Amino acid sequence: MDFAQTWLPFIYLYGIGGIAFVFGLNLILRTKALRLSYSRHKKWIWIFLYGFFFYAGIHALFILIAIGSQ
């Protein structure tokens, strides 16, 4: 298994996808669509970050398992 099968897609996915994610997050914060001063909004920031790392964690875990099972 070479790099193009394992970590390169991962880096690309969370690099380019991460840019889209941060751009969206930044935009809704700047436009005050999401206000951190509202307690009912604050939890959403954590949910957004959790979701990002949840998927990144699953993908990284399976890549490690696949590499380990060679």
Partner 1 sequence: MDIAIGTQLDRIIIIAYFTLVMGFGAYFGKYSKTTSDYFFGGRRFSWWLIAISIVATGVGSHSFVKYSTKAYQYGFSSTMTYMNDWFFMPLFMFGWLPIIYYTKIKSIPEYFERRFNRKARYIATLMTLLYMIGYIAIQFLTLATALYKIYGIPLMLTVVLIAIATTIYMHFGGQTSVIFTDLFQGFILIFAGLLLFYLGIQYLGDNTAFTGMKAFWMNLSPNEKLPLAHFNHPPDFNFVGIFWQDGIAGSVGFLFLNQGLIMRFMAAKSVNEGRKAAAFNVLIILPISAIVVSNAGWIGRAITNAVPNALPVDMAANDVFVAVTNIVSSPGVFGFIIAALCAALMSTADTLVNASSAIIINDIYRPLAKKLKNEKEQLTLARWTSIGVKVLAVSLVPFFNSFDSIYEAHGWFHSTFTPPLVVGVFLGIFWKRFTSSAVIATFLGGAFLMLAFSDRFQPDLTAGKGWLAIVAIIAGKWLPKGVFIAVLVFALLGSVAVHVQILDIDVPYQIFLALPYLASIILLIGLRKKMTYHL
Q: Contact residues for partner 1 (CB under 8 A)? A: 1, 4-6, 8-10, 12-13, 16-18, 20-21, 24-25, 27-28, 33-34, 40, 44, 47-48, 50-52, 54-55, 58-59, 62-63, 65-67, 69-70
Type of residue found at 40: R
Q: What is the DSSP letter of 2?
A: -
Shortest distance, position 65 Cβ to partner 1, whole Å: 6
Provide CB contacts within 8 A for 54, sequence distance 6+: none
Shortest distance, position 49 Cβ to partner 1, whole Å: 10
Question: For residue 3, how far is the Cα from the chain centroid?
Answer: 21
